[in-house]
Amino acid sequence: MTSERPDMSVQLGSLRLRNPVMTASGTFGFGVEYAECVDLERLGAVVIKAVTVEPRIGNRPPRIAETAAGMLNAIGLQNPGVDAVIAEKLPELASYDVPIIANLAGESVAEYVQLAERLTACGYVAALELNISCPNVSHGMMFSSSPELTGELVAAVRRVTDLPLITKLSPNVTDIVPMAVAAVEAGSDALSLINTLLGMSIDVARRRPMVGNITAGLSGPAIKPVALRCVWQVYEAVQVPLIGMGGIMDSHDALQFIMAGASAVAVGTASFVNPAASVEIIGGLEQYCCDHDLCGIGSLVGVAHS
């Protein structure tokens, strides 16, 4: 056993995180909603709910449905719009000592660029995550299913920001690797994978879809094998750090993603089940490093490939 505490920090482009565990966009609001029962300052980063140029009221209810070891959601990017997010939401979260990663959702390259400019200039944000993969709005997946459009979008945003740029990929494609390669070639510093899987459920009693939007995004333990496979494939194809997510419930799950090639992980649906999940995962990863005499978590990234 080493007496030193293991080095849990990770590097995402120019951003250094004190540990590799962040919250997944849309599952942790603007962070402060959980502040009463989660110590935000323990987290590697807080990734906030998707931000759009204009306010969005979101989809008609019901917006979620439970499925076998998972859940469907179709929130529809409800958010008060970038101006209100900067004026009303970010200052409170910024009062905590934790990096803020903004999640951007646009309907055109111009909108993403506008969002990136505003969020870079506001000074609260440590990195940008391009959500090109939301399954719950029309055109949501347009960018994520074409390497050309992905590259065009990432390149355009790259030109207007010096912040670390993360592109979040969708699993709802025939082959995720070309999207990953395109995003990296266009200047993405890191990749997040995966967003939710498109699915649906039917209420037999009412003879209607369970979710108002009809189709919805599947998350939770049910999608972990798919997410892990995506991380594995992309790790073999690109050199940038990967942020793995999809069904991570505990540190054992997180270790699987790290060993598959993720430098960091994001905890989503697990926070609904157990608000303390992300903090417990940090503890579990640290414990694993101690138990196995590792000087840092970094030495585990991708080890399952060799």
Partner 1 sequence: MVQEKCRLLSSEQVAPGHWVLRLAAPAIASFARAGQFVHVRIPTTYDPLLRRPISIMLPEARQGNLRLLTCAVGRGTRMLVETPIGTELDLLGPLGTAFPLPGGPELSEAKEVLLVAGGMGVAPLVFLADTLRGMDHHAYVRGLFGAATEDLLVSWTEFAARCDEFYVSTEDGSAGEQGRVTDTLVAQLERGQADVVYTCGPIAMMAQVAQMCHDAGVACYCSFEQRMGCGVGACLSCAVPAAGGGYVRVCRDGPVFAADRLDWEAILDDI
Ligand X SMILES: Cc1cc2nc3c(=O)[nH]c(=O)nc-3n(C[C@H](O)[C@H](O)[C@H](O)COP(=O)(O)O)c2cc1C
Does residue 68 touch partner 1 according to CB under 8 A? yes
Segment contacting ligand X by CB under 6 A, of 70-78, 82-90, 93-101, 281-289: 70-78
Does residue 237 touch partner 1 according to CB under 8 A? no
Site string for ligand X, 214-233 (x = CB under 6 A): -----xx--x----------
Does residue 27 touch partner 1 according to CB under 8 A? yes
Does residue 252 touch partner 1 according to CB under 8 A? no
CA separation for the pair 89, 85 (Å, rounded): 5
Closest approach of ligand X to the CB of residue 135, in Å: 9
8, 24, 82, 98: which one binds ligand X (CB under 6 A): 24
Does residue 26 touch ligand X according to CB under 6 A? yes
| DSSP letters for the chain | --SSPPB--EEETTEEESSSEEEPTTSSTTSGGGTTTS-GGGSSBEEPPPB-SS-B--PPSP-EEEETTEEEE-----B--HHHIIIIIHHHHHTSSS-EEEEE--SSHHHHHHHHHHHHHHS--SEEEEE---TTSTTTTTGGG-HHHHHHHHHHHHHH--S-EEEEPPS-SS-SHHHHHHHHHTT-SEEEE--PEEE--EETTTTEESSTTSSEEEESGGGHHHHHHHHHHHHTT--S-EEE-SS--SHHHHHHHHHHT-SEEEE-THHHH-TTHHHHHHHHHHHHHHHTT-SBGGGGTTGGG-
37 given a catalytic annotation: no
Does residue 75 touch partner 1 according to CB under 8 A? yes
Site string for partner 1, 215-234 (x = CB under 8 A): -----xx-------------
Q: Which of 37, 122, 134, 289 is catalytic?
A: 134
28, 112, 232, 235: which one binds partner 1 (CB under 8 A): 28
Q: Which is nearer to ligand X, 161 or 271 (CB)?
A: 271
CB atoms within 10 A of CB 18: 18
Find out whether 11 and 166 touch, Cβ atoms under 8 Å.
no
50 binds, among partner 1, ligand X, none (CB under 5 to 8 A by kind): ligand X
Of 58, 70, 91, 81, the closest CA to residue 269 belongs to: 70
Find out whether 121 and 163 touch, Cβ atoms under 8 Å.
no
Bridge partners, residue 198, by sequence: 217
36 binds, among ligand X, partner 1, none (CB under 5 to 8 A by kind): partner 1
Segment contacting partner 1 by CB under 8 A, of 73-81, 93-101, 162-170, 281-289: 73-81
| Paired sense of beta strands 64-67 and 46-47, if any | unpaired
Q: Which is nearer to partner 1, 57 or 121 (CB)?
A: 57
Does residue 204 touch partner 1 according to CB under 8 A? no
Closest approach of partner 1 to the CB of residue 57, in Å: 5
Closest approach of ligand X to the CB of residue 204, in Å: 24
Does residue 65 touch partner 1 according to CB under 8 A? yes
Radius of gyration of the chain (CA): 18
Residues labelled as active-site residues: 134
Binding site for partner 1 (CB under 8 A): 26-30, 33-34, 36-37, 49, 57-58, 60-66, 68-71, 73, 75, 78, 212, 220-221, 249, 269, 271-276
Binding site for ligand X (CB under 6 A): 24-27, 49-50, 73, 75, 77, 103, 131, 134, 168, 195-196, 219-220, 223, 245-248, 267-270
